[in-house]
């Protein structure tokens, strides 16, 4: 079997593999919201309620990707939700790439400054790397275009602004708290790079569709 089969349309859109991805991403999303439980409770107690939606960044990205799989699994049943589909797909790509790379980078940056890496951190490294990779792999099966991708980028930049203006960014290793300005700048830059990565993947998708 040719190794390229493992990222071919035939394999990636097979119902068995789509169901496997759906289940793993759904479970990861549920666990992610549980992981953020203490920070959500803290935000509810100390901040205006509207800021809570900006707290669980990674599980919300995972939720977008999980929902995007629904449109591949039940494309006929959900075909009337075309506008919602392109919105969810564009958010899935930008946020999954952004927070996938962000979480891995923060874990290793904290480790570089002395934070211990245990099994949970390695689990997060693996799962967040998978988030970024799977989102880019599935761009070619999505329906959204460059305009809605830009909108997803603007929403993610708004998330960044709220996070670092009101202090609802994901809790960092204590070693990185004195580098908060650098973390903020890296976060914003990563949003822009994630939009660029999504756009390049779109260009590749559109080229492959040419006769």
Buried b / exposed e over 63-95, threshold 16 CB at 10 Å, is: bbbbbbbbbbeeeeeeeeeeeebbbbbbbbbbb
Instruction: Give the residue-averaged pLDDT of 3-15.
Output: 89
Does the pLDDT value for residue 2 go beyond 80? Answer: no
Confidence of residue 1 (pLDDT cuts 50, 70, 90): low
What is the residue range of 27's domain? 3-208
Question: pLDDT of 143-171, one tens digit each?
Answer: 999 999 999 999 999 999 999 999 999 99
How much is the mean pLDDT over the chain? 95
Instruction: Give the residue-averaged pLDDT of 27-34.
Output: 97
Residue 4: predicted pLDDT: 81
The pTM of this model reads 0.95
Domain count, the chain: 1
In degrees and rounded to multiples of 5, residue 13 shows phi and psi of: -105, 10
Does the pLDDT value for residue 188 go beyond 90? Answer: yes
The alpha carbon of residue 49 and the mean position of all alpha carbons in its chain are separated, in whole angstroms, by: 23
Residue 207: predicted pLDDT: 86
Instruction: Give the residue-averaged pLDDT of 26-53.
Output: 97
Tokens of 56: 């669980």
Does the pLDDT value for residue 129 go beyond 70? Answer: yes
Instruction: Give the residue-averaged pLDDT of 28-34.
Output: 97
DSSP 114: T
Does the pLDDT value for residue 112 go beyond 90? Answer: yes
Asked if 125 and 90 touch (Cβ cutoff 8 Å), the reply is no
Residue 211: predicted pLDDT: 63
Q: Which helix (H) or strand (E) holds 81?
A: none
């Amino acid at each position: 079997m040719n190794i390229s089969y493992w990222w071919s349309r035939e394999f990636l859109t097979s119902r068995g593999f789509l169901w496997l991805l759906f289940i793993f991403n759904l479970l990861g999303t549920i666990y992610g919201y549980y992981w953020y439980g203490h920070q959500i409770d803290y935000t509810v107690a100390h901040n205006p309620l509207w800021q809570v939606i900006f707290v669980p960044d990674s599980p919300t990205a995972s939720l977008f990707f999980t929902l995007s799989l629904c449109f591949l699994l039940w494309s006929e049943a959900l075909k009337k939700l075309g506008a919602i589909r392109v919105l969810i797909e564009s958010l899935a790509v930008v946020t999954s790439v952004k927070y996938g790379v962000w979480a891995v980078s923060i874990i290793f940056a904290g480790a570089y400054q002395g934070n211990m890496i245990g099994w949970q951190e390695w689990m997060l490294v693996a799962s967040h790397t998978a988030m970024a990779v799977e989102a880019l792999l599935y761009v070619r099966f999505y329906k959204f275009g460059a305009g809605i991708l830009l909108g997803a980028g603007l929403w993610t930049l708004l998330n960044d602004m709220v996070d670092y203006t009101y202090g609802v960014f994901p809790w960092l290793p204590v070693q990185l708290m004195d580098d908060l300005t650098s973390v903020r700048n890296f976060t914003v830059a990563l949003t822009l790079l994630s939009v660029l990565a999504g756009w390049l993947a779109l260009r590749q998708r559109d080229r492959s569709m040419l006769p």
